[in-house]
Structure 1
């Protein structure tokens, strides 16, 4: 019996998220687990407190299209069967928890930059995912790419 049956990889689709590919593929192979991917786009209205004097629909649509394209590229780089590739809109931690619950995932993998305040250990997103998850969470340390 395998330790994990369904792994959810939450990616921000940054260059740093490529550092997760080898580790997640190896873990999924070792566990013979299903693998799903999720990328969460926080709506632009979140950044402006929901009180924006212009229509952001076209910009949000472009962000969604770009994310779907990058998700396809990321999925191919994994070189492992992906059950589901999801690009969703909402609050990052909330959406990751929702998807993990809906998909009956028993492990969520997130990249951790570990750069901010309380997040010196985990990173703010990884910390948020950890504290609301109903399953195991693995935070994989990623290094910032040289500029």
Structure 2
């Protein structure tokens, strides 16, 4: 059925729960996993004429985001290792996380994208947009949307 599954993470509690479900799904199918974290591109401050000394350089920003991405992806890789699922991880940079997810899935020959949904509706959805909805509208690869019934954060 599915041989290679792309599992996305943004480091949130929702994406961590989604990743766990994705790894279990991959184990059941005997599929391999590509774990992906997409970091936003570096933004120069446009509101000042001189960049403040405390503002990180592009190199510092990219290094910090690479470390954060590696941490988020590492937890998925460890989960895969515990369950005997072959996996690799990747951190990418892009203006649009959704388009990068679609591109990576296509370039890496993934045959399923396993992604979470925060479950926002109404104004929250309209104002914040949805990476999941954008992925759904831009890919030809099947997408499995994992939606949590309750908030994973502690009460």
Q: Is 1:99 matched with 2:104?
A: yes
Q: Is 1:33 matched with 2:31?
A: yes
Q: CA RMSD in A?
A: 2.7
Structure 1 or 2, whichever has the larger Rg, is: 2
**Normalization by structure 2: what TM-score?**
0.77
Figure out how many residues of one structure are paired with residues of the other and give that number: 142
Structure 2: gaps of 5 or more residues: 52-56
Q: Is 1:74 matched with 2:88?
A: no
Q: Is 1:44 matched with 2:49?
A: no
Task: Select which of 67, 84, 89 maps to 2:88.
Answer: 84
Q: 1:96 to 1:53 in 2, by over 3 A?
A: farther
Q: Distance in 1 between matches of 2:124 and 2:13?
A: 24
Q: Distance in 2 between matches of 1:144 and 1:53?
A: 42
Q: Is 1:145 matched with 2:153?
A: yes
The CA deviation at 1:104 is 1.2
Contact 2:23–2:76, Cα closer than 8 Å, also in 1: no
The CA deviation at 1:128 is 0.5
Q: CA deviation digits over 1:41-98, x for unaligned, max 9?
A: 011318x67x985334313321211221232133213434343201000020111011
**Normalization by structure 1: what TM-score?**
0.80
Q: Is 1:126 matched with 2:132?
A: yes
Q: Distance in 2 between matches of 1:67 and 1:113?
A: 20
Contact 2:7–2:19, Cα closer than 8 Å, also in 1: no
Q: Which moved more, 1:74-83 or 1:34-43?
A: 74-83
